[in-house]
Amino acid sequence: MAIELPVIVNNYVNDFLIIPIVLIVSLYVLRWSRNDANYQISIGAILYLCSFYAVIFEYVLPKFHPRYTADIIDVVLYFIGGIIFYYLQKCRL
């Protein structure tokens, strides 16, 4: 029995959440490995990761695999997720 998700959840929530999830895991690994509980990921590194995901998943992969589709909304959601992560880590994530 398959559960059908709403279109907005099925198509966009994962794009919104992927950057914060990757960055939260990265932040905790970096804090542990540097032994610095106050370490924060720079805005440059966050924007780089958002750009990397946008290029790979919205430009490169759609050219080679039919499962992937290029969508500008996904790109916007990557960056919104990155900016939200930036502010969350400032609030002591």
Q: What is the pLDDT of residues 26-70, one digit of tens each?
A: 999 999 999 999 999 999 999 999 999 999 999 999 999 988 889
What is d(CA 71, CA 19) in angstroms, rounded to the nearest whole number? Answer: 16
Give the closest residue to 86 by CA, choosing from 45, 34, 33: 45
Tell me: pLDDT of 93 over 80: no
DSSP letters for the chain: -PPPPPHHIIIIIHHHHHHHHHHHHHHHHHHHHHT-TT----HHHHHHHHHHHHHIIIIIHHHH-TT----HHHHHHHHHHHHHHHHHHHT--
Q: Tell me what pLDDT residue 57 has.
A: 94
